[in-house]
Chains A and B, each alone.
Chain A
Amino acid sequence: AQKVTQAQTEISVVEKEDVTLDCVYETRDTTYYLFWYKQPPSGELVFLIRRNSFDEQNEISGRYSWNFQKSTSSFNFTITASQVVDSAVYFCALRRETGGFKTIFGAGTRLFVKA
């Protein structure tokens, strides 16, 4: 069975704080893809990053960074120096290589960044 767990339901931080959103996944597949999406109040999901199971390199994009660790089945997302515009719901997702677009999403973490 495949599953994505985002244990943090809501996180509240003050602007300029760093914040890490946790994601733990379960799959028996050796090839799979992990994603992070941002859902602002407007509703559409905004793609942030895709990582395949063979690429454990951490990635940094501006204030965003991702830490993928197969040993712990985790794909955590860190926002450095958070800003009010980062307030949104963030989803971690898992897709099998043979599953097409049957993406399994976590429950999401709602991030509040206060000025």
Chain B
Amino acid sequence: KAGVTQTPRYLIKTRGQQVTLSCSPISGHRSVSWYQQTPGQGLQFLFEYFSETQRNKGNFPGRFSGRQFSNSRSEMNVSTLELGDSALYLCASSLGTSGATDTQYFGPGTRLTVL
């Protein structure tokens, strides 16, 4: 079974630009969660999508948004990039039907650098 894939793996943008990151979950998984990892703040939950609907949301500004398609693939968008948005963005997929007991499988991440 193929794992979680994220594209692109590396990205360099400048302040003020916007960026879209993509995540393809494991086949059969309907839940996709996004996390931001930075040296200062660690791993922080952004949001979770299940069956094309946002089911949970973390404490991030509205510049961070996402969506999920009917094939469960998900995209995350960050508008008006700031230097502090430089981070590793991790996507996790799970079945999404067992609540908090679901095991999440993570992708390799997208390393975003904002100059």
Q: Which chain A residues border B99 with CB–CB below 8 Å?
A: 97, 100
Chain A count of residues within 8 A CB distance of the other chain: 27
The answer to whether A97 touches B100 (Cβ under 8 A) is yes
Other-chain contact of A43, B44, B103, B109 (Cβ < 8 Å):
B109
A-B contact count (CB 8 A): 68
Chain B count of residues within 8 A CB distance of the other chain: 28
The answer to whether A96 touches B106 (Cβ under 8 A) is no
Task: Give the distance in Å from the alpha carbon of A105 to the alpha carbon of B35 in the complex.
Answer: 10
Q: Give the one of A44, A47, A97, A99 with max B CB within 10 A.
A: A44
A64 on interface, CB distance cutoff 8 Å? no
The answer to whether B100 touches A96 (Cβ under 8 A) is yes
Other-chain contact of B102, A32, A45, A52, A101 (Cβ < 8 Å):
A101
Task: Give the distance in Å from the alpha carbon of A32 to the alpha carbon of B44 in the complex.
Answer: 18
> B residues touching A (Cβ–Cβ < 8 Å)?
3-4, 31, 33, 42-45, 48, 55-56, 58, 88, 90, 92, 94, 99-109, 111
